[in-house]
């Protein structure tokens, strides 16, 4: 998908030429709180003057003093080319998301192998599941081929084992995914199960499921914006 470089009040952004091609995990830039509506820092209540200047957080759009909005942190969900100024709270959130973009997104794109069961069928098919490079589709390849548009996914339930009433470690062993069929109100369901015969791939499958769990959280946040 072609991209273009645009300049906004917040900084340079590399965005898709067509909005329909944007990442489903992306966030829109927030409107800035107008200068005239924030005579004081919205965090520490310091009054702005010629010495104490106001700055806007690029993630939430609120107005802060330099002390409360001094960190410049990468914000890939808004397609910024360089790290941008964010308040302490938003910077913490963005820093946590960096792991997803630096590590887990690559895990999803590299893919993992699962037994996939469609709907209420009692038959499963061994398939390689991966996220497309443009982040817009979940691609499943085996004897069959499926491409599920990420924005059509309605629910994702991660299946785990190892939990005990007294507590203990759990590991992801599969997931149940529901999605809407484009142009229809029909909801389809797929069940993904890590194969017991592929012990060497269990760790990879668990990592892929953990990354999918994080991706789902970001997807829900984008929808709630």
pLDDT digits (tens, 9 = 90+) for 159-209: 888 755 555 567 788 999 999 988 888 899 999 998 765 554 778 888 999
CATH of the domain at 188: 2.30.29.160
Of 105, 121, 146, which one is at a domain's C-terminal end? 105
Q: 85 with 124, same domain?
A: no
Same domain, 97 and 139: no
Q: Give the pLDDT band of residue 49 (cuts 50, 70, 90).
A: very high
pLDDT at 83 over 90: yes
As a residue count, the chain comes to: 225
CATH of the domain at 24: 3.30.40.10
All residues at 6 or more sequence positions from 125 whose CB lies less than 8 Å from its CB, including other chains: 115, 116, 117, 118, 142, 143, 144
Provide the pLDDT for residue 197.
Answer: 58
Q: How far is CA 128 from CA 24, 139, 147, 149, 199, in A?
A: 21, 8, 12, 16, 16
Q: What is the mean pLDDT of residues 70-90?
A: 94
The pLDDT of residue 78 is above 70: yes
Same domain, 99 and 130: no
Asked if 96 and 130 sit in the same domain, the reply is no
Are residue 128 and residue 196 in the same domain, yes or no? yes
Once rounded to an integer, what is the mean pLDDT over residues 69-73?
Answer: 94
Closest CA to 125 of 144, 108, 148: 144
Q: Let me know whether 96 and 131 are in one domain.
A: no
Model pTM score: 0.81
205 plus 160 within the same structural domain? yes
3-state secondary structure of 160: strand
Kindly report the average pLDDT of the chain as a whole number.
89
Asked if the model's pLDDT at residue 63 lies above 70, the reply is yes
CA gyration radius, the chain:
21
Co-location of 84 and 41 in the same domain: yes
For residues 81 and 57, membership in a common domain is answered with yes
Q: Which residue has the tokens 């996939």?
A: 116
Determine the pLDDT at residue 167.
Answer: 55
pLDDT confidence tier of residue 69, bands split at 50, 70 and 90: very high
Domain end marker among 51, 74, 105: 105
Q: What is the DSSP letter of 193?
A: E
**What average pLDDT score do residues 16-42 get?**
90
Is the same domain home to 154 and 82?
no
Q: What is the pLDDT of residues 107-166, one digit of tens each?
A: 999 999 999 999 888 899 999 999 999 899 999 999 999 999 998 999 999 988 875 555
Domain residues for the domain of 29 are 1-105
**Domain edge (last residue) among 76, 105, 134:** 105
In this prediction, residue 20 carries a pLDDT of 77
Same domain, 4 and 69: yes
Contact 48, 64 (CB under 8 A): no
7 shares its domain with 101: yes
Number of domains present in the structure of the chain: 2
Flag whether pLDDT at 51 surpasses 80.
Answer: yes
């Amino acid at each position: 998908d072609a991209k273009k470089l645009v300049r906004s009040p917040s900084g340079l952004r590399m965005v898709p030429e067509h909005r329909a091609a944007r990442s489903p995990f992306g966030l829109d830039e927030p409107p800035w709180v107008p200068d005239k509506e924030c005579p004081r820092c919205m965090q520490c209540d310091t009054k702005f003057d010629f010495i104490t200047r106001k700055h806007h957080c690029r993630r939430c759009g609120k107005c802060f003093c330099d002390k409360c909005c001094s960190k410049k942190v990468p914000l890939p969900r808004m397609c910024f080319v360089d790290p941008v100024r964010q308040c302490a709270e938003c910077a913490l959130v963005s820093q946590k998301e960096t792991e997803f973009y630096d590590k887990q997104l690559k895990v999803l794109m590299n893919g993992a192998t699962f037994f996939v069961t469609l709907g209420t069928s009692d038959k499963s098919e061994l398939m390689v599941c991966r996220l497309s490079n443009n982040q817009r589709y979940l691609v499943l390849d085996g004897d069959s081929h499926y491409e599920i548009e990420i924005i059509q996914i309605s629910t994702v339930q991660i299946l785990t084992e190892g939990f005990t009433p007294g507590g203990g470690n759990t590991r992801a062993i599969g997931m149940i995914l529901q999605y809407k069929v484009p142009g229809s109100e029909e909801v389809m369901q797929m069940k993904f199960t890590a194969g017991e015969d592929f012990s060497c791939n269990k760790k990879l499958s668990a990592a892929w499921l953990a990354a999918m769990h994080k991706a789902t959280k970001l997807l829900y946040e984008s929808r709630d914006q």
